Structure 1
Amino acid sequence: MTTQRPVVHALILDMDNTLYDWVAYFVPAVRAMVTVAAKLLDVSEQELRGDLQVVHRSHGNTEHPFALLETAAVERRLPGVSQRIRHEHLLPAFTAFNEIRRSHLRLYPGVADTLEAVRAAGCRVVGHTEAKDVNINSRVRSLGLDAMLEAIYAPRFVGPPHPLGTGRERARDTIRVRVLPPTARKPNPEIARQISDQLGVPPARCLYVGDNLSKDVTMAKRAGMLAAWARYGTHHDPDLWRDLVSLSHWDPSAVNAAESAGAESPQYAPNATLDAFDELREHYTFAAPAGSRAVQLEPDCLGAGSAEG
């Protein structure tokens, strides 16, 4: 007897390491940036990496935009000058970052085709991430996800403006970002319920897909949603992972939590485990919700452009 697949009216997607390998692009890009910047600043790469981690920890964000401009090495080498001038001096380093990003940032196999099929079936599709709005907008633009997602839910970036001015950010908006409070963190089920409510789809008809069992899956299950674990997104090159930890803002407990992301909770087990994104269609039937309403976005919830490049 064939088991009937659950019907899904809204697909809610974690972004990093669910739709693309964030570690495989971000760490090599930072490595390239540090190599160039260290020469421009006449410091060792090891010292500059340590400086970057200090900045990341001070902001609680490993992707803090233009963290390089706030490092102690830059303060010593370029004291008393504007961020615009610092950016100009270090432009080759930022260019190196962006070049590696362009060559390494790719959707996982099957993502584009699967999302096209899901949307063609009338199912709602949105993203949800803990990455700040400015960072996720940059990745969306690079990957062409603006054509695949209705909107993205992300916390607002609170920090210095783009060194070249805010006008540049607004000019490059590509997708609507529904801004969450800066402190909105997984696995708070209220976040998932809010998304469900704004989509006009009951939680039981929502499917959340993510790579982190303790955050993504637990949050979805507590909110009454279906949950699929993107197990494929937990496999990282050990060397890249060590580099990421050495750069990150994480304290020891956060590192342990990140490295335990694949530890399953019996209370909140996923409804499906994926070893490839396109396996979604083997487990679920995607369809249009009856009488759904469009995502309502206030003007101040629009994306703030890119701060990565």
Structure 2
Amino acid sequence: MKSKALAIFDFDNTLFDWVHVWYSCFKAMMDEVEAKTGLSIQDLADEIRPVHQIHGTSEYAFLLEAIPSLQVHLDRQPAGEVFAEAIQAFRKTRRKELRLYPGVADALLRIKGRGARIAIYTESQSFYSFYRLKRLGLDGVVDRIYTPPDHELPDGFMEEGRRHYAREFYHLRHTEQRHTPRGELKPNPDLLQQIITDFGVAKDEAVYVGDSRQKDVAMAEDANVDYAWASYGEAQETEAYEMLKLVTHWTDDDVRREAEIRARKVDAKIELKKSIIELFDHYRFSDYNA
């Protein structure tokens, strides 16, 4: 059994069910929008996609004020007031549905308790990843999180009255944050190698865990880094995934790139089928001495 001093995790659908959380929150919000305006998700999808594409995320927090067909309902009033019920439905659902997969908290604390370091490498932007890291109780458990640069926030967002939480909530207190280069995405093995280099450990002291065979496993293999495929988190062709595709931030170029990635045959040698706890069947963790 190989000994590791650094565990690097994908975040979404590896430590928690991102697709389920996104779908539950987005649907709750848009159901309230439909009740108020008569406009369904299907009616607005062609206007939602370009907004998501502009900002590079399918969870743009300021979506309602950017949808053209909703402008007549806003009538120059803040979306937070006009669609207060919709925004509240989103937040209420998020509080209910956002939780770690079973076994994740125990696994991370077990790794930490052995003296190893923990990093997260995600393609979700900082603004959203930080919220989840804090809400999931991982600020400080995770040593460092790597995210792409954020989209710009609306003018005056950080002023009192615009934001939902106090200013300090939008920053991590204990986990260090670093940006990945803008436009660089998985499965780029150089990014994974850079994370390992940042921690000052050798490749054979690190292990990477992610839910995507084509992105996460392929990246680790190309970087010659040990890995575990978290197949328990792989997104399926569910209603949630179909809605995500309907309003996705992916451009046509992104879709073509994804098709090329999926065309690559990747056979994962180590698979976590039911829980992240299975990681300890393959690797043990020890003191980080860099």
Contact 2:34 2:40 in 1 (8 A): yes
Contact 1:157 1:182 in 2 (8 A): no
Pairwise CA distance, 1:255: 5.4
Say what the alpha-carbon RMSD is for the aligned residues.
Answer: 2.5
Distance 2:188 2:41 in 1: 38
2:4 counterpart letter in structure 1: V
1:71 counterpart letter in structure 2: I
Aligned to 2:271: 273
Candidates 29, 34, 41, aligned match of 1:33: 29
Percent identity, aligned pairs only, is 32
Aligned 1:75-90 pairs, distance under 5 A? 75-79=71-75, 81=76, 85-90=78-83
Aligned to 1:295: none
Task: Map Cα deviations across residues 135-161 of structure 1 (whole Å, 9 max, x no partner).
Answer: 101111221121421121001112233
Aligned to 1:62: 58
Task: Map Cα deviations across residues 164-198 of structure 1 (whole Å, 9 max, x no partner).
Answer: 42675742123432122331211111211111111
1:9 counterpart letter in structure 2: A
Distance 1:164 1:235 in 2: 33
Distance 1:240 1:280 in 2: 28
- Structure 2 residue 100 is matched with structure 1 residue 107: yes
Pairwise CA distance, 1:238: 1.3
Aligned partner of residue 145 in structure 1, secondary structure:
coil
Contact 1:231 1:262 in 2 (8 A): no
Where in structure 1 are there 5+ consecutive unaligned residues?
293-309
Structure 1, 16-25 or 151-160: larger mean CA deviation:
151-160
- Structure 2 residue 110 is matched with structure 1 residue 117: yes
Pairwise CA distance, 1:239: 1.4
Aligned 1:1-309 pairs, distance under 5 A? 5-79=1-75, 81=76, 85-161=78-154, 164-165=157-158, 168=163, 170-172=167-169, 173-174=171-172, 175-236=175-236, 238-251=238-251, 254=254, 265-266=265-266, 269-275=267-273, 276-290=275-289, 292=290
TM-score by length of 2: 0.87
1:187 counterpart letter in structure 2: P
Pairwise CA distance, 1:256: 7.8
Contact 1:213 1:263 in 2 (8 A): no
1:123 counterpart letter in structure 2: A
Contact 1:158 1:182 in 2 (8 A): no
1:70 counterpart letter in structure 2: A
Task: Map Cα deviations across residues 219-242 of structure 1 (whole Å, 9 max, x no partner).
Answer: 222222111111111153611111
Structure 1, 158-167 or 67-76: larger mean CA deviation:
158-167
Pairwise CA distance, 1:273: 0.7
Q: 1:263 to 1:228 in 2, by over 3 A?
A: farther
Pairwise CA distance, 1:31: 0.5
Pairwise CA distance, 1:271: 4.2
Distance 2:263 2:279 in 1: 21
Distance 2:232 2:259 in 1: 14
Structure 1, 18-27 or 241-250: larger mean CA deviation:
241-250
Contact 2:64 2:79 in 1 (8 A): no
Structure 1, 48-57 or 161-170: larger mean CA deviation:
161-170
2:181 counterpart letter in structure 1: P
Aligned to 1:303: none
Contact 2:206 2:226 in 1 (8 A): yes
Pairwise CA distance, 1:44: 3.6
Contact 1:8 1:285 in 2 (8 A): yes
Pairwise CA distance, 1:214: 1.6
Aligned partner of residue 227 in structure 2, secondary structure:
strand
Pairwise CA distance, 1:257: 7.0
Where in structure 2 are there 5+ consecutive unaligned residues?
none
Q: 1:261 to 1:228 in 2, by over 3 A?
A: farther
Pairwise CA distance, 1:117: 0.6
Pairwise CA distance, 1:126: 0.9
Q: 1:112 to 1:92 in 2, by over 3 A?
A: same
